């Protein structure tokens, strides 16, 4: 039975005590008036003892800290309490129904009818309560009327039977309406699983229990991999059917001790049972998650399609540690995203290392918002050279040096800037400072053929990006300088919305700006993007270049990329060049531009100027 129903019955206990004790005093008075005080007094003592039992049940109800077993045990005792208290009312009816001379049988009859109405009104939330109790109350009444053996007695017997049916129907209708309303409020419409609100209530209760018992449990956050692709390519109807099938598989996999909910979209969450030992809890949770993943990955037949989908699962242990309930979910969410970052289709357990990462993440996020204000952001420039090793261009790289935590890698702060939206402000600053540097160098006679700037996904899709680029170009550059700018894009950007990206690129190409596909060869869709995007340059990922001498396969891959670029008439840059052997191989295969530590690390603007003129 749900929390709401338990709480409802819990509230009725005190009301039932009042309805028993106060009218019971009236029966004692009537018994004293009619010389049947002893049976009435014994009955009242029984009612009083039962009421004390009921009051103790009322005080013992601590839903937030009671385990499922304790709650079931309390509910079973509550049922026996109500059975007993209403049986006592039947007993007093039998006692007074024979007192026809004093007319007490009329009071007994109306009291029994009233008790039946009370039962159907107060106990409708539990069918196992109101059905037997109404029968216990009304059946003696129908037998009593039949025992009169007069025509009016049979009529009253018939009407009593009808009245019992009406009470049962009324209580049953109220019960069905309550169940339906509660189900709609606490369950997901599509899958029928618990919804986010019901899950949060259950999780809060679980945490309270763990604080009291010092036991352990676990949380699994499940996110389906690449579900958006299925939704977009096959339609939401197929996507919904797939979610229903996934939810059925998970329901079949869990036990009654688990709680399964759908948080929304393609995210599901599971609360596990309780364990006395932490290691046992983690071991069991990991095994359960791995078996669940296998079930999710089995093929789905949704006519006319055979679909395959995997999932990323974040696992977090629940304990009595003093943190907010939402923090447990957030930690599981972090573990889930780690599973996605590790290649998806796996289970990752949240641990202390993740806690440190979170603290570092939050600290970087906090300090990053003041980085521009404190002039902590610096641009570095890495030379790009042709086969004769003459500097013909550069790539602009950003560095952040904070007084408190030192130098922070772009690998750490750029993703955070994208997540928080700060990349828009930061990206605009980098773009403007880069363009100003290009103009300044041109005026100094530092003539480059190209000037590469990295553009993030959130930045290029921002509504003001095209306008900002046009404004900066018109403010600082003429058309000839605009043609030297190369915007480097990664495959992550391309995969987001290729049609919109092509429209943005074509609009910027009107200014003369060129585009480069960065980290080429690392994504599974790289080849298809070449034919769809208006790019001018491919940039071979450093992982291929650095492993050129490892085996012949790597050389074959790089050769293939170089030949592919020639086929599509694209310029090509090899980054990560660190040895003379790599240079020789790339030169033999007509690679246009070389970039790497062999020539120079990223340097400041002044150092780049000195390097350029020395090289010249």
Task: Tell me the C-alpha distance between 458 and 416, whole Å.
Answer: 12
- Is 596 a residue whose pLDDT tops 70? yes
Higher pLDDT, 506 or 335: 506
> Is residue 355 in a domain?
no
Top mean pLDDT of 61-75, 130-144, 195-209, 394-408 is at 394-408
Find the mean pLDDT for residues 586-597: 91
- The confidence score (pLDDT) of residue 360 equals 83
- The confidence score (pLDDT) of residue 331 equals 84
Q: Residue 98: count other Cβ atoms within 10 Å of its Cβ.
A: 12
- Is 30 a residue whose pLDDT tops 90? no
Lowest mean pLDDT across 374-383, 576-585, 602-611: 576-585
- Is 322 a residue whose pLDDT tops 80? no
pLDDT grade for 545, boundaries at 50, 70 and 90:
confident
One domain for residues 321 and 436: no
Question: The tokens of 120 are what?
Answer: 């159907």
In the chain, how many domains are there? 3
One domain for residues 201 and 182: no
Residue at which a domain ends, from 186, 221, 242: 186
324 Cβ neighbours under 8 A, 6+ residues apart? none
One domain for residues 498 and 562: yes
Top mean pLDDT of 293-302, 466-475, 486-495 is at 466-475
584 Cβ neighbours under 8 A, 6+ residues apart? none
- The confidence score (pLDDT) of residue 305 equals 86
- The confidence score (pLDDT) of residue 513 equals 96
- The confidence score (pLDDT) of residue 313 equals 94
Average pLDDT, rounded, for the chain: 86
Q: Which H, E and C letters describe 250-291, residue by residue?
A: HHHHCCCCCEEEEEECCEEEEECCCECCHHHHHHHHHHHHHH
- Is 96 a residue whose pLDDT tops 60? yes
Task: Tell me the C-alpha distance between 351 and 499, whole Å.
Answer: 41
Top mean pLDDT of 7-21, 432-446, 486-500 is at 432-446
> Is residue 457 in a domain?
yes
One domain for residues 552 and 457: yes
The pTM of this model reads: 0.60
- Is 495 a residue whose pLDDT tops 70? no
pLDDT grade for 332, boundaries at 50, 70 and 90:
confident
Q: Which of 145, 76, 90, 97 is nearest to 119 (CA)?
A: 90
- The confidence score (pLDDT) of residue 102 equals 66
Higher pLDDT, 400 or 551: 400
One domain for residues 383 and 437: yes
144 Cβ neighbours under 8 A, 6+ residues apart? 97, 109
One domain for residues 144 and 208: no
CATH code, 295: 3.30.70.270
Top mean pLDDT of 89-98, 161-170, 471-480 is at 471-480
- The confidence score (pLDDT) of residue 65 equals 72
Q: What is the pLDDT of residues 401-454, one digit of tens each?
A: 998 889 998 988 998 898 888 999 999 999 999 999 999 999 999 999 999 999
One domain for residues 251 and 393: no
Find the mean pLDDT for residues 307-325: 85
Q: Which of 570, 520, 564, 571 is nearest to 545 (CA)?
A: 520
Residue at which a domain ends, from 304, 324, 350: 350
> Is residue 191 in a domain?
no
* Strands ordered across the beta sheet of 217-224: 259-264, 267-271, 217-224, 311-318, 346-349
pLDDT grade for 312, boundaries at 50, 70 and 90:
very high
194 Cβ neighbours under 8 A, 6+ residues apart? 186, 187, 188, 202, 259, 260, 261, 262
pLDDT grade for 496, boundaries at 50, 70 and 90:
low
- The confidence score (pLDDT) of residue 34 equals 67
- The confidence score (pLDDT) of residue 1 equals 52
Find the mean pLDDT for residues 332-337: 86
- Is 357 a residue whose pLDDT tops 90? no
One domain for residues 224 and 181: no
> Is residue 543 in a domain?
yes
CATH code, 445: 3.20.20.450
- Give the range of the structural domain holding residue 529, as residue numbers without chain letter: 362-615
Task: Tell me the C-alpha distance between 614 and 612, whole Å.
Answer: 5
Top mean pLDDT of 81-95, 141-155, 279-293, 316-330 is at 279-293
One domain for residues 537 and 430: yes
- Is 526 a residue whose pLDDT tops 70? no
pLDDT grade for 350, boundaries at 50, 70 and 90:
confident
One domain for residues 476 and 510: yes
Find the mean pLDDT for residues 174-200: 88
- The confidence score (pLDDT) of residue 481 equals 95
> Is residue 596 in a domain?
yes
Residue at which a domain ends, from 138, 167, 186: 186
CA dihedral of residues 365, 369, 375, 378 (deg, nearest 10): 50
One domain for residues 204 and 326: yes
pLDDT grade for 463, boundaries at 50, 70 and 90:
very high
> Is residue 205 in a domain?
yes
Lowest mean pLDDT across 96-100, 135-139, 354-358, 521-525: 521-525
Q: Which of 194, 236, 222 is nearest to 309 (CA)?
A: 222
Find the mean pLDDT for residues 206-226: 88
| Backbone dihedral angles phi then psi of residue 261, each to the nearest 5 degrees | -140, 155
- Is 137 a residue whose pLDDT tops 70? yes
- The confidence score (pLDDT) of residue 156 equals 81
- The confidence score (pLDDT) of residue 209 equals 83
> Is residue 581 in a domain?
yes
Find the mean pLDDT for residues 58-81: 82
One domain for residues 528 and 597: yes
> Is residue 102 in a domain?
yes
- Is 377 a residue whose pLDDT tops 60? yes
Task: Tell me the C-alpha distance between 473 and 451, whole Å.
Answer: 14
- Is 351 a residue whose pLDDT tops 70? yes
């Amino acid at each position: 039975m749900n929390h709401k129903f338990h709480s409802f019955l819990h509230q009725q206990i005190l009301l039932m005590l009042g309805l028993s004790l106060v009218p019971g005093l009236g029966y004692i008075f009537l018994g004293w008036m009619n010389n049947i005080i002893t049976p009435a007094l014994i009955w009242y003592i029984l009612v009083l003892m039962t009421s004390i039992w009921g009051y103790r049940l009322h005080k013992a109800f601590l839903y937030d800290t009671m385990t499922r077993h304790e709650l079931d045990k309390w509910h079973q005792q509550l049922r026996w309490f109500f059975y007993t208290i209403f049986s006592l009312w039947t007993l007093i009816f039998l006692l007074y129904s024979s007192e026809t001379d004093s007319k007490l049988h009329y009071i007994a009859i109306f009291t029994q009818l009233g008790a039946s109405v009370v039962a159907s009104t107060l106990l409708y939330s539990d069918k196992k309560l109101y059905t037997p109790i109404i029968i216990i109350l009304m059946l003696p009444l129908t037998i009593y009327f039949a025992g009169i053996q007069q025509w009016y007695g049979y009529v009253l017997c018939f009407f009593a039977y009808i009245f019992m049916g009406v009470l049962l129907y009324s209580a049953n209708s109220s019960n069905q309406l309550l169940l339906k309303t509660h189900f709609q409020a606490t369950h997901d419409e599509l899958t029928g699983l618990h919804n986010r609100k019901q899950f949060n209530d259950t999780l809060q209760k679980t945490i309270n229990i763990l604080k009291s018992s010092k036991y352990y449990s676990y949380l699994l956050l499940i996110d389906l991999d690449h579900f958006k692709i299925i939704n977009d390519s096959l339609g939401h109807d197929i996507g919904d059917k797939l979610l229903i099938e996934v939810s059925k598989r998970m329901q079949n996999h869990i036990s009654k001790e688990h709680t399964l909910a759908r948080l929304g979209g393609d995210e599901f969450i599971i609360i596990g049972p309780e364990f006395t030992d932490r290691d046992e809890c983690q071991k069991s949770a990991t095994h359960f998650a791995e078996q669940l993943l296998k079930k999710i990955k089995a093929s789905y037949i949704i006519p006319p399609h055979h679909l395959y989908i995997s999932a990323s699962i974040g696992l977090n242990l629940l304990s009595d540690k003093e943190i907010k309930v939402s923090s447990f979910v957030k930690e599981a969410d972090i573990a889930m995203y780690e599973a996605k970052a590790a290649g998806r289709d796996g289970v990752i357990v949240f641990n202390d290392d993740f806690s440190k990462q979170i603290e570092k993440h939050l600290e970087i996020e906090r300090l990053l918002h003041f980085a521009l204000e404190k002039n902590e952001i610096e641009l570095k420039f890495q030379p790009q050279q042709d086969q004769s090793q003459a500097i013909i261009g550069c790539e602009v790289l950003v560095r952040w040096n904070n007084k408190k935590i030192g130098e922070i890698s772009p690998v750490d702060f750029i993703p955070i800037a994208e997540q928080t939206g700060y990349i828009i402000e930061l990206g605009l600053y980098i773009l403007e400072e880069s363009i100003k540097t290009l103009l300044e160098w041109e005026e100094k006679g530092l003539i480059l053929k190209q000037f590469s700037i990295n553009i993030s996904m959130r930045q290029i899709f921002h509504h003001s990006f095209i306008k900002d680029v046009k404004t900066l170009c018109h403010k600082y550059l003429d058309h000839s300088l605009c043609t030297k700018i190369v915007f480097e894009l990664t495959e992550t950007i391309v995969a987001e919305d290729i049609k919109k990206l092509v429209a943005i690129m074509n609009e910027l190409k009107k200014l003369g700006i060129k585009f480069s596909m960065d980290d080429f060869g690392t994504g599974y869709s790289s080849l298809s993007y070449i034919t769809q995007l208006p790019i001018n340059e491919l940039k071979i990922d450093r992982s291929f270049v650095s492993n050129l001498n490892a085996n012949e396969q790597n050389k074959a891959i790089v050769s293939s990329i170089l030949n592919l670029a020639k086929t599509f008439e694209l310029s090509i840059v090899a980054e990560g060049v660190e040895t003379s052997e790599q240079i020789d191989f790339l030169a033999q295969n007509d690679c246009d531009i070389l970039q790497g530590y062999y020539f120079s690390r990223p340097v400041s603007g002044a150092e780049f100027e000195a390097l350029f003129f020395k090289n010249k």
